[in-house]
Amino acid sequence: MRRMWTLNLPTWNHVYWVTALVCALGAIASAQVTPTSNATFEERIAQLESANRALLRRVSELESHDRSKDNLDDLVGDIIDDLLEDRTASASGVVSRYSSVAITFQYYGSVGFQVGDPPPTNGGDSLFRFESIDLFVTAKLSPRLQILSETILEGDGNEVILDQERIFGVYQFAPEFYVKLGIEHSPISHWNRIYHHGTWLYVSVERPTIGSFEDGGGILPSHFAGLEIGGKFDLSVGEIRYTAIVSNGRGPVPTNRQVISDDNNAKALDLALEFAPSSAENLSIGAAFRYDLLPPDGSDPARTKSILEWIASGFVDWRPGDFQLIAEVVVVDHDDRLSGQQFRHISGYLQVAYSIGELTPYVRFDFKRMEQGDPYFLPQNSDLDRWEQIIGVRWDFEDNAALKFEIAFGDEELRHNSGRISTDGFVVFRFNFSWYF
Amino acid sequence: MSMQNEKLVIILSLCFIFCVPLSHAQVKKPKRRALAVIVNVTNPIKGLTSTQLRKTMTLSVQFWKNKKRIVLLQRPRKSPETRLLLKRVYKMSDRKLKKFWVSQLFNGRIPGIPSTIRSTTRTIHAVKKSANAVSVVFADEATSDVRILRIDGKLPGEKGYPLILEPSK
């Protein structure tokens, strides 16, 4: 007999019972996940804690088994493992370690574009340009000994040249005393001492006159090869830092940095002091002095005797929160022993910037007031005045990369072939892409 | 079972289901957490002022009073520990702190950017093993293997302790 299946529509009775069953099952499931009483809950916590302690003991045993001595150097590998697990954790570049030596490699790059009146090149109104590649490496050889090297690839005419900008070893005896030997940037320019060749580090596209290097028309000795001692004292009113340097000094012409040879017996002496008061956030003020005897230049009849050089500079660096102010002024005195003439040159700048998120608008006023005819600066036409104002904005669109746009305008003296000097206006738009990793 | 009893069963079941998560929510009430600055137990230092803490955390001061070099161990960038330090100690954004370390390294003022340790357990372990290390962990996670420093004379939990993470609203 064929059985007939019939569909019985649910009644309200069925709905209630099914709902009640589902709810009851849900409650039972919840009760299984959640401890039903405090006693059970605490027991479970105690079990977990016990298991955790056992695991920690085991980890400790395993780690101590692999180590012959308990110091941080042995932990370095573990710490780096952690670092690698969280690659965004630090801005350390490429870090390599072996034994107790820790090495950091960093790569700074900069390319740009500029257009201006008068044109930036002889042929056209505008140019794209390779600016620099900065290969930076520093190594901690021991807790007190550090080695640092900065090598630059930069444009020279239409060629790319390699330049060793800094290389030194520094031994830190105590906070109050360190000894540094090698090639380093002189403290006579605060800008150079804090930014070096790292374009990404400073807000603007171009450096101020005081921060310009010897081969870029700068009037200051940016580099030195010599011995530096320094340190700092932490006082209740603030921190005092001192630096004293004896070095080869400048060569016969401003572009000769004398980092490999020395053309005279006289050494240059530098002394710098810096004070960071406790009462003001991120404020430091400082002064630097330099004495040097510039050797004669046999190829220049106007430079057959040495020039006595005295330089004094001062700076204010204040960075509370998102605000940033840097100002510097420098006075360069030259006493020409051939003509008996004295020349005094003054240069300075004031730069103000304010960060709003990723954008940092900035302005800078920069001047160079020179006494014309100084035989040391004349061959490079560096003895001419210049006044420049810059308005720009920096965009940190990535943690490690920035775009900078700036417009500079002002007046500058130009020496014509006839020897006549005129003052002309200029305007230039600069764009720069800089990065590091 | 009558219709009324059935309804009662359903209502009681639903009440039970909803009460379980509610009771859990009460247990997970947010609380204030204190950040402890920890050093090795052999380190003679007992406490720091807020100014000294900032100098230590920025490596503006690189030596302990016993002339040993400070080994600063950072916590991950986005961790609550680092966020609290940025607000109360560094007083700068995460991005600025990163730039600060790069700049310090480039200037040769520090021999390397401080290492970062991700887990609290390993942080405590590293500080326990290194005589000159300093780092931070939440006070309720610190163990007796390390010393918690007084900040401005206060220990975590004491009134006026400056490194407090307020519960998010």
Is residue A223 pLDDT above 70, yes or no? yes
Residues 350 through 409 of chain A touching chain B, CB cutoff 8 Å? 355, 396, 399
Task: Using alpha carbons, list the distances in angstroms from residue B116 to A83, A394, B19, B56, B103.
Answer: 6, 29, 43, 16, 18
The torsion angles phi and psi of B2, rounded to 5 degrees, stand at -80, 165
Higher local confidence (pLDDT), A206 or A50: A206
Mean pLDDT of chain A: 85
| CA-to-CA dists, residue A277 to A195, A234, A337, B80, angstroms | 22, 10, 42, 31
Beta bridge pairs of residue A243: A230, A272
pLDDT confidence band for A22 (50 / 70 / 90): low
- pLDDT number for residue B149: 95
Q: Specify whether the backbone of A379 is left (phi greater than 0), alpha (psi in -120 to 50) or beta.
A: alpha
Mutation target among A30, A59, A79 for the B interface, most CBs of B within 10 A = A79
Label residue B27 by pLDDT band (50, 70, 90).
low
Q: Select the more confidently predicted residue: B20 or B160.
A: B160
A259 or A332, higher pLDDT: A332
Which residue in A90, A335, A258, A203 sits closest to B78, CA to CA? Answer: A90
Contact A42, A50 (CB under 8 A): no
Q: Going from the N-terminus, what domains does chain B have, and what CATH number goes with each?
A: 33-165 (3.40.190.10)
Q: What is the pLDDT of residue A25?
A: 60
pLDDT at position A33 = 45
- Helix ranges (H only) for chain B are 3-27, 50-57, 80-85, 94-106, 120-129
Nearest to A148 among B73, B108, B121 (CB): B108
Cα–Cα distance between B105 and A181 in angstroms, integer? 18
> Looking at beta carbons, which residues of chain A come within 8 Å of B92?
321
pTM (2 d.p.):
0.78
Percentage of chain A surpassing pLDDT 90?
Answer: 62
Question: Is the pLDDT at A326 greater than 80, yes or no?
Answer: yes
Q: What is the pLDDT of residue A86?
A: 45
Instruction: Tell me what pLDDT residue A362 has.
Output: 98
pLDDT number for residue A68: 40
Q: Report the pLDDT value the prediction gives residue B169, as an integer from 0 to 100.
A: 57
Residues of chain B with Cβ-Cβ distance to A80 below 8 Å are 115
CA separation, residue A400 to residues A149, A361, B58 (Å): 21, 18, 20
Residue A394 near residue A434 (C-beta atoms within 8 A): no
Average pLDDT over residues A285-295: 97
Query: Distance of CA A295 to CAs A261, A375, A386, B114, Å?
Result: 12, 12, 27, 45
Among the partner residues A19, A148, A281, nearest to B10 by beta-carbon distance: A19
In this prediction, residue A15 carries a pLDDT of 61
Give the pLDDT band of residue A321 (cuts 50, 70, 90): confident
Mutate to test the interface with B, among A86, A166, A172 (most CBs of B within 10 A): A86
pLDDT above 70 coverage of chain A, percent: 83
Amino acid A1: pLDDT: 42
- Residue A100 tokens read as 């107790």
Measured CA to CA, the distance from residue A207 to residue A219 in angstroms comes to 13
> What pLDDT score was predicted for residue A145?
93
Residue B153, phi then psi, degrees to nearest 5: 80, 5
Residue A289: pLDDT above 90? Answer: yes
Residue B98: its chain A contacts at CB < 8 A? 90-91, 399
Q: Could you tell me which residues are beta bridge partners of residue A360? A: A394
Cα–Cα distance for residue pair A354/A361, rounded to 1 Å = 6
Name every chain A residue with its beta carbon within 8 A of the beta carbon of B122. 78, 82
* Residues A29-83 pLDDT 10s: 444 444 444 557 777 887 888 788 778 777 665 655 444 444 454 455 445 444 4
A45 at interface of B, judged by CB pairs closer than 8 A:
no
Surface of B (139-168) touching A: CB under 8 A: none
Query: Which range is least confidently modeled, A45-54, A129-138, A324-333, B4-13?
Result: B4-13
Position B18 scores a pLDDT of: 59
pLDDT at B21 over 70: no
